[in-house]
Copies of this chain bind each other. A is one copy, B any other.
Amino acid sequence: MSQMKNAIVGQSGGPTTAINATLAGVIRGVAKTDQIGTLYGCLNGITGAINDELIDLSASMDDGKLALLKHTPSTYLGSCRYRLDKEEDLARVVETLKKHNIGYFFYIGGNDSMDTISRLTAYAGDSGIQFIGIPKTIDNDLPVTDHCPGYGSAAKYIATSVLEIARDCYCYSTPSVTVVEIMGRHAGWITAASALARTSYSSAPDLIYLPERDFSTERFIADIRQALRRRRNVVVAVSEGIVVPQYDDDCGTRDVFGHRQLGGIGKALTDIVKFYIGCKTRSIEVNVLQRCAAHLASKTDLDESEAIGKAAVQAALAGETGKMMVYVREEPYSVSFDCADINGIANLEKKMPDEFISPDGNDVTAAFINYVTPLVAGEAYPLYENGLPVFLGR
C-alpha cells in the first residue's frame, strides 16, 4: 500500500467575511475521508509554503472551533499579496510540499490566487500533487462561477448600510446629496447590490454609478439635478473604480500586482455637486467592514462558502487538478458545485453584463435584482458574549 498523502490549505488576497467558512469546509471535508492524512494550514498565503511555515489543522480543530471559525471574518491562516512568478519560489514551494508528503493543495483566493494555482499546476503538474483553487472575493469578479464566496455577505452589508445611511439623511429638511463610495476597482458588483436598499418609503440609492460604464460629469450633474427635483435628500452609490475625467490625475500608487490604489471618488463627486449645484453634500467611504463585517453575514453565503470547501476535497479525491471550484445556479435558487480549468479563470475579470445595467448607465436592472436577491438571504449571527461577537483567534 502506498503511503497516504497529506493535504495543505492556504488563504490569500484581501479578507472576506466568508473565507474562513470555506476553510472550515476544507477541514471538515478532510476530516470526513480516510484517504487523506494530515491537513496542514499554510501561514500567510503562499509565502507560508515558500518558507515552510505550516500548522497542523487536523490536530488543532474540533467541532466547537469549526463552528466559531465559520463566523470568523478575515483570514484565520493569515494572507499575503505575493506573485508566485519566480522559478526559485516555485521550487521552494514544491520542496515544502514534498517534504510534508503533500498530495493535495487547496488555495482559497481571488484572481491573483488563481494565478498561483495555474503556475503551480504548470510547474509541478507531473509531481503527483493535485492543485485546486477555491474562489473567494467580495468583488464577485471571477469568471465561470455563478458568484463568488464572500460576495453575498458584502452585498448584504452594503445594502443594509445604504438603507441605514438613507434613514440618517432623510431626517433633515435641508436638501442634500450624499455620495456613498463602495469597493470595486473594475467591476461594479458590490456597488450594484446597494439597489437592494430600496423600500416602499426610501428610494436610496437614487443613482448608481458602476465602473463598467464611462463616467460623464455633465451627465452626472444632470442626473443629480433631476433627482433633487423628485426628492429632498438624494443618495448616490458609486464604485471606487469610477474615473472622473477632470479628477483623473493619475497620481495613484500601484500595488505589487500593478493594480492602481484607488480612493477619493466620493470626495470628487461631492466637490462637483458643491461647485455646480451648491447644495449640502456628504461623502461616505464605506470602510473595510464591507469585507469583514461578520456581524451582518449572509447565511446563504456562509453556508455555500463552507459547502464549496467540502466539495473541493471531494473534487481532489476524484482526481481533479489545475481546477477552480465553481457554483452552478439552479432554479428555484440553489447551487451545485463543479470545477473548471484554472487557465480559463486566472487573471481574468468578470464584469457586470449589459443586461444587469440600465440603458442610462446610472442604475441596475430587474434582472440584476433577481440575480443578487437570493445571495443575501438569511442572517448568520455570530455567537455573542458580553455584547460582543466571539471569533476564533490563532
Residue of B nearest to A286 (CB): B287
- Tell me the count of chain A residues lying within 8 A, CB to CB, of chain B: 58
**Candidates B168, B377, B391, B393; contact of A288 at CB < 8 Å:** B168
Copies, count: 2
A140 at the interface (CB under 8 A from B): no
CA distance A53 to B44 in the complex (A): 60
A291 within 8 A of B: yes
Establish whether residues A171 and B74, one from each chain, have CB atoms under 8 Å apart when the complex forms: yes
> Is A199 part of the contact surface with B, judged by Cβ < 8 Å?
yes
Tell me how far the C-beta of A103 lies from the nearest C-beta in chain B, rounded to whole angstroms: 27
Q: Is A75's beta carbon under 8 Å from chain B?
A: yes
Task: Report B-chain residues with C-beta under 8 Å of the C-beta of A293.
Answer: 161, 164
Is A228 part of the binding interface, using a Cβ–Cβ cutoff of 8 Å? no
Across-interface contacts of A294 in B (CB, < 8 A):
164
Known contacts A165-B292, A284-B288, A286-B287; is-contact A160 B389 (Cβ 8 Å): yes
Quick check: is A127 within 8 A (CB to CB) of the other chain? no
Give A298 to B15 CA distance when docked, in angstroms. Answer: 27
CB contacts under 8 Å to B, within A66-88, are 72-75, 78-81
| Contact A199/B78 with A164-B289, A284-B287, A287-B285 known, Cβ cut-off 8 Å | no
A220 to B288 CA separation, bound complex (whole angstroms): 25
The residue that A373 contacts in the complex, of B298, B378, B386, with Cβ under 8 A, is B386
Q: Does A196 contact B (CB under 8 A)?
A: yes
Q: List 23 A-B contacts (CB under 8 A).
A: A15-B167, A73-B168, A74-B164, A75-B171, A78-B171, A78-B173, A80-B173, A159-B388, A160-B388, A163-B388, A164-B289, A164-B293, A164-B295, A165-B289, A199-B391, A202-B393, A284-B288, A295-B295, A376-B388, A377-B386, A377-B387, A379-B381, A379-B387
Closest 7 CB pairs of A and B: A201-B393, A376-B387, A74-B167, A75-B171, A79-B171, A168-B292, A284-B287
